[in-house]
Amino acid sequence: MNAKVACGAGLLGAMALLAGCKTTGELVVQDGVGITAVRSTCPAVGIADYTGDITTFRIGGGQTASAIDLTGAITDVRGHCDPKSNPVEANVTFKVLATRADGRGERVVNLPYFVTVVRGGNVVIAKRLGTATVHFADGQTRGEVMASGGATINKADATLDSAVRARLLKQRKAGEADAAIDPLTDPEVRAAVAKATFEVLVGFQLTPEQLQYNATR
């Protein structure tokens, strides 16, 4: 599963180990050849691809702009985690924004969402469902609500093997044979890092039709 990882959490996704934001983490590799990596036992947080928006249509109107009944979007995803805890308890909060086409009358809309734990960038190891309830007053076309979820991760699973950690921490100076070699180019090292990397991804629980609409619009 691909993900749009939120750098606001200060963590790196499994497929973005050398890019993005930098903060204090479990491991920092930085030397004269410009190699920098930041890891933490805390998972990165983000929105799963194609699931950050939801669109519903009026019955019989087809999937045209004039037939849209309501749209929703997930935004402001934030992770909260203590990397020293064991097991690692990770919480994620996010905002759900909704807009309806017809503002007449009061209305309550329930938007289903999911929170998943992904390991190594593509293995879903846990999934929980929730509902974001948005209330519209008469005449109001926009509404918002906060939602949240959580995950528990075995700290040992999110901790790098000591041998791999030593390779990543090895000092590399300009002029040495391996000075410009990124240790993550080694398939074994990269696989070990991926295995110890977790993400908590959120998104709307879409129908197949809604998912296809998001992927093709």
Per-residue pLDDT band for 184 (boundaries 50, 70, 90) equals low
Quick: pLDDT tens for 111-169: 999 999 999 988 999 999 999 999 999 999 999 999 999 999 999 888 887 777 776 66
Q: What is the pLDDT of residue 83?
A: 87
- Average pLDDT for 168-190: 64
Q: What is the pLDDT of residue 29?
A: 41
Residue 174 has pLDDT above 50, yes or no: yes
Residue 33 has pLDDT above 50, yes or no: no
Q: What is the pTM of this model?
A: 0.75
Starting at the edge strand that comes first in sequence, how are the strands of the sheet with 107-119 ordered?
Answer: 3-5, 44-48, 198-204, 107-119, 123-136
- Average pLDDT for 61-65: 87
**Cα 175 to chain center, whole Å?**
39
Which carries the bigger pLDDT value, residue 27 or residue 97?
A: 97
Pick from 156, 179, 171, 177: which is nearest to 87 by CA?
Answer: 156
Q: How many helices (H) and strands (E) does the chain have?
A: 3, 11
Residue 175 has pLDDT above 60, yes or no: no
Look at residue 15 and give its three-state secondary structure: coil
Pick from 85, 1, 72, 4: which is nearest to 40 by CA?
Answer: 85
Q: How far are the Cα atoms of 29, 81, 84 from residue 121, in angstroms, in the given order?
A: 21, 19, 23
Quick: pLDDT tens for 92-102: 999 999 999 99
For β-strands 88-100 and 68-81, DSSP reports them as: antiparallel
Residue 202 has pLDDT above 90, yes or no: yes
Residue 198 has pLDDT above 80, yes or no: yes
Cis peptide before 187, with omega less than 30 degrees from 0?
Answer: no
DSSP string, 62-109: -SSGGGEEEEEEEEEEEEEE-TT-SSEEEEEEEEEEEEES---S-EEE
Q: What is the pLDDT of residue 183?
A: 63
What does the mean pLDDT of the chain come to?
80
Per-residue pLDDT band for 185 (boundaries 50, 70, 90) equals low
d(CA 137, CA 98): 13
Q: What is the pLDDT of residue 28?
A: 44
d(CA 172, CA 185): 15
